[in-house]
Structure 1
């Protein structure tokens, strides 16, 4: 496995590749990241993973400075997963000057749910992903990038960005990897103390209950869903959580469901803070 830090090193290392496969990460890797790398391996002729903590997607009060940086263990895990190339740019390599040109996603998709509670987040995500795509796939006729479904809205934003810019990149979704007890794997799970780790399962359980109740009310879902969502939020709040949203949306556009929408068309999504840790999860219905 080769490790590079600059754009020139990356492009030199990828000269012989015709169809790179790519996984973007912020490091502090867990089994979910590695599953994406393993999924990407057979899809291209060179498997690339990036490690970069992107300042643009953190709000001023969020955990950019304290976000875990575990470069050496991350590289060891990527080597074991069969990654060919790690691109680990320094901030001055990826942002050599202030990034005044940015990719601003469609507000109809990016300003709801995560975008409502983290304004500007998806602009930061889209901008860095576009820069990484230009770094990895420059001069290539085609490529593939794998993104996890755990960040469901992010996956949709990136897919739409690639489609609208006509980038020759196939976006492949990776299923959410979970611990044995069902908790979605996340780098931020490391922030949880033992009691919070046990309690963290309640987010997925709340989404399962909401999904079950939404399907039971499918005949009048637009009318009944607000009360179901409110009950889900109140249930978590009663356990000491601070919910941002627990909601059921259409998979196609993340807008509220309409009469006739049902199984196979919906997704339950949730974000809530437990102690000092904000967790997200989702469940396709």
Structure 2
């Protein structure tokens, strides 16, 4: 595996590979890698000749500076993991390399997708996401880029950005990778206390119950049920739960046949924020 810290050196290297007709798959990450990230790399390896993984903790997508400071940084372990799955290239730039001296996000219009769910609670978050992902696309110019569906709203926003900016990259959404007990894998999970970690499967268990209830009850009733369940859980504070249209991400008022819906949740375990989602059965 070759490690690059400078974008121009990476560009030159990748241009030589493209000249040989090699296809390139990009897996953007913020490090603290786990099996969920490795599953993205595995998907990318199936149809690309060269796999590029980026590790960059992007300051402009954190609205909480404490969360940014405490975000796990495990570059030595990350490098070993990437080598173990035969990753070809690691791009590990500094903040200065990406932003120079102006650490500010660009402004994006995602046709309203950015105002739903995460956007309501994390001011400016998706401008930061759009800025770093577009920057990485400009540097790597991959044929395909891979993102996990745990951040489903982010996935839809990146698809929207690619379409609106006419970027010639295929965006691949990959299934949520879960622990054996159902907890969605996240770099933040390692910050959970033993007690929180043991209780955390409750999140996915609740979502699975939502999937059953959605066919029988209306969205408001299901939402109220979820809120009531979390009131009984002293270790977790529910930030939001919503059932939304997969395409528009707008909260469903009345179920319509032929539409695809998904349930989204964000909770706090102490100061650690976890998100998850589940696809609901088509009506």
Q: Shorter-chain TM-score category?
A: over 0.9
| 1:70 paired to 2:74 | yes
Give 1:220's aligned residue: none
8 A Cα contact 1:17 1:45, kept in partner: no
Give 1:272's aligned residue: 267
Give 1:261's aligned residue: 256
8 A Cα contact 1:267 1:282, kept in partner: yes
Give 1:229's aligned residue: 223
> How far, CA to CA, are the matches of 1:281 and 1:100 in structure 2?
28
Deviations 1:33-79 (A, max 9, x none): 01101111132221100000000011134411111111111011111
8 A Cα contact 2:182 2:205, kept in partner: no
1:45-194 counterparts in 2 under 5 A? 45-100=49-104, 102-106=106-110, 108-137=112-141, 143-194=143-194
User: How many Å apart are 1:12 and its aligned residue?
Assistant: 2.0
- Alignment partner for residue 249 of structure 1, among 236, 244, 265? 244
> How far, CA to CA, are the matches of 2:164 and 2:118 in structure 1?
21
Query: Bigger CA drift: 68-77 or 35-44?
Result: 35-44
| Structure-2 change in CA distance of 1:174 and 1:55 (3 Å) | same
Give 1:10's aligned residue: 10
8 A Cα contact 2:219 2:254, kept in partner: no
> How far, CA to CA, are the matches of 1:263 and 1:67 in structure 2?
40
| Structure-2 change in CA distance of 1:64 and 1:200 (3 Å) | same
| 1:21 paired to 2:16 | no
Give 1:40's aligned residue: 44
Tell me the TM-score normalised to structure 2 length. 0.92
Deviations 1:115-167 (A, max 9, x none): 10111111111111000110101xxxx61000000101000000110011110
Structure 2 segments unaligned to the other structure (5+ residues): none
> How far, CA to CA, are the matches of 2:6 and 2:146 in structure 1?
22
User: How many Å apart are 1:23 and its aligned residue?
Assistant: 0.3
Query: Bigger CA drift: 250-259 or 35-44?
Result: 250-259
> How far, CA to CA, are the matches of 2:105 and 2:272 in structure 1?
31
> How far, CA to CA, are the matches of 2:57 and 2:105 in structure 1?
19
8 A Cα contact 1:105 1:126, kept in partner: no
| Alignment: residue pair count | 275
- Secondary structure (helix, strand or coil) at the match of 1:243 reads strand
| Structure-2 change in CA distance of 1:27 and 1:166 (3 Å) | same
Tell me the TM-score normalised to structure 1 length. 0.91
Query: Bigger CA drift: 54-63 or 32-41?
Result: 54-63
- Secondary structure (helix, strand or coil) at the match of 1:245 reads strand
| Structure-2 change in CA distance of 1:101 and 1:179 (3 Å) | closer
Structure 1 segments unaligned to the other structure (5+ residues): 218-223
